[in-house]
Structure 1
Amino acid sequence: MNPMNQRHQKRVKPWMVLVGGFSLVKLMGAFVPPPQAVPVRCPPRLGARGIGHVVGSCIMAAPAYASDTSGRDFQQFVDDVGRNRDFFISVASAAFAFGQLVAAFKASPEGKIQEALAKTMEPFEPSRPQDEVIQRPVMETLRQRIASWQQHATIIGGRYQSGKSVATEEALRGVRGVVRFTIRSADWADRMCKQLGVDDEGLFKEVMRRVPEKLKDFPNNLTKFPILLLEVPRTTTEGINLISSTAKDVATDKSGSAIHVIVSASSAAVALAFDAGGTERQEDIWVGDLTEEEAKEFLALHGHEKNWKDFVDACGFRIGDLAKACENLKKGISLNDTKQEYRRFATAEAVGFMELQVHPKLNGRQMSQELLKVYPEGMPEVFNSIRILPRELAELIRNKSCHAVYFHPIKKRFFFASKLHKEAAEAQLANP
C-alpha cells in the first residue's frame, strides 16, 4: 500500500472521536431514565476539536466522579450526562453530517484533483537507497536536461540491463511534481489515471496544470514543470503508439500546461518504438555500459573489490548482468555457471535474429555477417544500396524477442547487443 494512503487511513478525525463518545453516552443513558433537561451553555467558537474535547472530557471525568470525596458517585455522573444527552445527540448529528460532507467532497472531481495533487507534490523516492547507487555521468546529464527543460519528450535508451531505470530514478531523487507509471498494456492511460486517483484524462491534465503553481512553494526544486515518467518493460508491445502521441501532445502544449514526458525504455528496441514527432521533437539520452572504474565501484558495493575482474571477464560491463552474477554467487551459483547461462541466452537471441526478414533484400543471417565484418565499429543504416529502417527493425526484434542487435540513436549505427551475442553469431555462421 502506498505510504501516503496509509497516513490518510490512520489519521483520526475529530468527528470519529465524537461519534465514539456519543455511543458511550447513549450506552450510559440506556440505563438511566432522562430527568428534566438542564440547559447547557455551549462555549463560544466551539469547533470540531472543541466538540471532541467536550465529549472526551465527560468520558475521562468518570473516574474522578467515581472517587469524588464530596459524595457524588458514578451514578450521579451518569445522571448528569443523561440530563444533557439531547445536546450531545445534536452535536454528534452535526458532526456526522459534517463527516458525510467531507466524504462527499473527497469523492467529487475537485476532491480527487486535490488528493492527486498532494501525491504528486511528494518528493520522488527511487526504489534503491542512495548508498547502493553509484553516481554516473549520465545521471548529471539527465539532471541538466530536467532542470533546463522547456519542451519535447525525453527518451532514455540503452541496452537491456544497462541501468536506465536506476539512472533515471537517481536523477529524479527528491524532485517534486513527478507522476510515475509502468506501461504494461494498451489501456495504460486509463490505468494511470486510476493509479493517481482521478477518473479520466481530463482530471489528470487538470492535476498537471496545477503543479507549476504548487512548485512555486519549492524554489529549489529541480524543475518548474510537472514530469510524467513512463517506464516501458521489454515485454510491452501494446499501447506504444499512444505513448508517442501523448508525449508529442503534452510536451509541446502551448496553453501553459506542458508536461515533461520522460520515457524510460527497458531496451534499445523499445526506445526506438517511440516517435514524438521526429528527432527534432524529442531528446535521446543513451545509458551505456559501465566504464572500468564504474564496474570496480559497483562490485565493491557488493563486496567484490578484489575479484572485480573475474566478474567483468564472465559478464562484461553491463550493470544488470554484474548485479545478477553477484546475486547468483550468494545462491551458490558460480561465475562460470552464470556465464554459461548468459551464453545460452545470447545464442537463442542470435538464432532468432537470423530468422528475421530484415529487408526484402536482406535477412537477419546476412545482416549478422555484415555486422561481423565491421565489428566493433557498427553498421550504418544504408549499405550496399539497402536502407534498413531502425524503427521497423526494432518492431520485428520486439515482437520476436530476439534482441541480439540494437540501433544506437546517437551514433546512428547498428551493433551486436554484447560480445556474447557476437560470439554466438560467429558460431552459428560457422555451422550453416
Structure 2
Amino acid sequence: MKRRHRVRIKTWMALVFVLVKLMGAFVPPPQVASARLRGLIERPQFIGSSIVKEDLRPRLTHCRALDVRVWEVIVSASGLVVATTQAVRAFKASSEGKIRAAVAKAMKPFEPSRPQDEVIQRPVMGTIRKRIASWQQHATIIGGRYQSGKSVATEEALRGVRGVVRFSIESADWKRMMFEELKVENSGLFKEMMRRVGEKLKDFPDNLTKYPVLLLDIPRTTIEGIDRVSSTAKDVATDKIGCAIHVIVSASSAAAALAFDAGGLERQEDIWVGDLTEQEAKEFLALHGHEKNWKDFVDACGLRIGDLVKACENLKKGMPLDDTKQEYQRVADDEVRRFMQLKIDEEVTGRQMLQELMDAYPAGIRNVVNGFGILPKKLAALIRNESCHAVYFHPIKKRFFFASKLHKEAAEAQLAKP
C-alpha cells in the first residue's frame, strides 16, 4: 500500500471518527428527541391549541424520521471505522504487510549511534565508503583489534545511506532471531524484502550504493553461528534472488574476523581498522576536553581508541591515568599468561610463538613457528575460546603481531622467567 493511500485512509478514518463524536454529542437518539417534543406538546398551555394540531405534530413525525436517518448514518459510519481498522490490522499482520513494513524501515537513511560532531574523520572511513560505492560482488570484512573503532568507522561510512539492514550475531540461531526482529517469518520473506529494497533504491540515484546492505556485527564473545554468516554471505552476494546483497561483517576482534570464510580470500574483501595515529588521537581527545594533555593519555594507554575512551571515563570518575595504565597492564599480563599455555599444534606452543614474535619485534612473523605452519583461523578459534588476545593476525599484511605494546612488555617479562 503506497504511502499516499495510507495517509488518505487515515485521514478519512479521523474525519469519520470526529463526525461520529460530534453527532453523538449534539444529536440525541430518536427516542430521546421524540420524548422531548412530546413533553413540549403535552404542556397545559398547548393542549387544545391549533399550533399543536397544525404545526408541532407534523414536526414530531418529521423529527422522528430525521433522527432515525441520522442515527443510521452514525451506525454506518461507526461500522466503516471498525471495518477499516480491522482491515488495516489484518494487512499489517499479513506477510505482505510485514514485508512492506520491513522495506520501509530499511529505506530510511542509516543513522549511526554517535552524532557526527562526536566522531573524528579517519581515512579508513573513506576506504569503506569507496568499497560500498563500487561494490559488485563478495562480502566485505571490517577487521581490526578489539575496540579499535571498527563499528564507529563502519557506521560513519554508512551515515545517511538508504537500504541498510543491521543485526548483531550473538548465537548460532541468529538467522531466526534476525527474522523475528525484522518481523519477517523466514528466509523467503527476507529475500523478497531485500529484493524490494533493491528495487526502491532505483528511486534514489544519489544513494551511495544501488545494492541493499546487510550489516552483521560479530561481538568478541560470539563463538557459534559464524559459519552460517559465511554461507549466508555466499548465498546472497549473487543475483539469485533478483538483487545481490552486499554483506558487510564488522568483527569486534581480529580473531572473530578470521573465523569468517566466504569461500576463500578471493571471495571476500578485507578492510583493516588500525589504531589511531597520534594526530587522530589528539583530535579525539580534544573532543573529550583533553587537547592540552593528550600526550599524557597516549603515553599511558597507547593509541587504541577504546583504551582512550575508557581512560577519559575513568578520569571523570576520579581514577588517575596511572591507575588506568596499571589496569591495562594487568589485563595484558593475564592474556599473555594464558596464551603461553596454549598448545597451538602438536609441535608448537604459545610460548614458542611469543618468543619468535619477540625476536622479530616489531616486524611480526609469518604463519610459521618453530618450522611448522600455523593456520591463522585455527589459532583465532583458540584465542577466542581461551580469551587470550595477546596476539593477532593481520589479514592484509599476512603476519602475526603482538596485540599491543603492553602485551609485548608482558611477554618480555614472562619469557625472562625460567
Quick check: 1:35–1:83 contact (8 Å CA) kept in 2?
Answer: no
Using the TM superposition, give the Cα deviation of residue 366 of structure 1 relative to its aligned residue in structure 2, in angstroms. Answer: 1.3
1:169-188 paired onto structure 2 within 5 Å: 169-188=155-174
* 2:273 pairs with 1:249: no
Q: Does 1:124 align with 2:114?
A: no
Letter in 2 for 1:359: D
- The residue aligned with 2:76 is 90
Q: Is the 8 A contact 1:113 1:198 kept in 2?
A: yes
Correspondence 1:15 to 2:1: no
Q: CA deviation at 1:23?
A: 6.0
- What is the match of residue 260 of structure 2? 274
What amino acid is the match of 1:33? Q
Contact 2:29 2:71 in 1 (8 A): no
In structure 2, how many angstroms separate the alpha carbons of the residues matched to 1:247 and 1:209? Answer: 15
The Cα shift of 1:200 comes to 1.2
1:273-328 deviations in whole A, cap 9, x for unaligned?
00001000000000001111111111111111111110000000101111111111
Q: Which residue of 2 aligns with 1:136?
A: 122
Instruction: Answer yes or no: is 1:356 the counterpart of 2:354.
Output: no
1:245-293 Cα offsets, whole Å, 9 max, x none, are 1011111344532100000000000000000010000000000011111
Larger radius of gyration: 2
Amino acid at match of 1:246: T
Cα distance between partner residues in 2 of 1:402 and 1:423: 15
Structure 2: how far apart are the matches of 1:100 and 1:91? 14
> Structure 1 pair 78/144, CA: closer, same or farther in 2 (3 Å)?
farther
Tell me by how many angstroms 1:95 deviates: 2.5
Q: Is 2:185 the counterpart of 1:199?
A: yes
Q: 1:365 is aligned with what amino acid?
A: R
For the residues of structure 2 that align with 1:81 and 1:126, how far apart are their CA atoms? 59
Say if 2:301 and 2:308, in contact at 8 Å, map to a contact too: yes
4+ aligned runs moved over 4 Å, structure 1? 11-14, 23-32, 77-83
Deviation at 1:98, TM superposition (A): 1.9
Deviations along 1:58-114, one digit per CA (max 9) or x if unpaired, are: xxxxxxxxxxxxxxxxxxx99976651111101221221122112111111111111
Q: Label 1:78 to 1:198 Cα distance change in 2 as closer, same or farther (>3 A).
A: farther
Q: What is the distance in 1 between the residues matched to 2:264 and 2:142?
A: 15
Shift, 1:15, TM fit: 2.6
Which of 192, 216, 226 aligns to 2:202? It is 216
Distance 1:209 1:163 in 2: 31
Give, in whole Å, the separation in 2 of the partners of 1:347 and 1:336: 16
Q: How does 1:325-344 map to 2 (within 5 A)?
A: 325-344=311-330
**Cα 1:276–1:31, aligned 2, differ >3 Å: closer, same or farther?**
same
The amino acid that maps onto 1:22 is V
Say whether the 8 Å CA contact 1:295–1:317 is kept in structure 2.
Answer: yes
Q: Tell me which amino acid in the other structure corresponds to 2:219.
A: P
Amino acid at match of 1:121: M
Q: 1:206, CA displacement in angstroms? A: 0.4
Equivalent residue runs for 1:276-291 within 5 Å: 276-291=262-277
Structure whose residues are more often helix by fraction: 2
Check conservation: 2:29, 2:67, Cα contact below 8 A: no
- Bigger Cα displacement from structure 2, 91-100 vs 307-316: 91-100
Matches of 1:28 and 1:255, distance apart in 2: 58
Q: How many angstroms does 1:382 deviate by?
A: 2.1
Find the counterpart in structure 2 of residue 240 from structure 1.
226
- Asked whether the equivalents of residues 186 and 239 of structure 1 are also in contact (C-alpha less than 8 Å), the reply is yes
- 1:393–1:89 Cα change, 3 Å: same
For structure 1, which segment, 190-199 or 139-148, has the greater mean C-alpha deviation from structure 2 after superposition? 190-199
RMSD: 2.3
SS of the equivalent of 1:96 reads helix
SS in 1 for 2:203: coil
Query: Which residues in structure 2 correspond to 1:99-178 (within 5 Å)?
Result: 99-178=85-164
| d(CA) in 2 for partners of 1:316, 1:79 | 88
Contact 2:341 2:351 in 1 (8 A): yes
Partner of 1:294: 280
Structure 2 runs not aligned, ≥5 long? 1-5, 35-62
Deviation of 1:163 (Å): 0.3
How much does 1:27 deviate? Answer: 7.2
TM-score by length of 2: 0.87
**In 2: Cα distance, 1:101 partner to 1:266 partner:** 44
Aligned-residue offset at 1:430: 1.7
One-letter amino acid of the structure 2 residue matched with residue 18 of structure 1: V
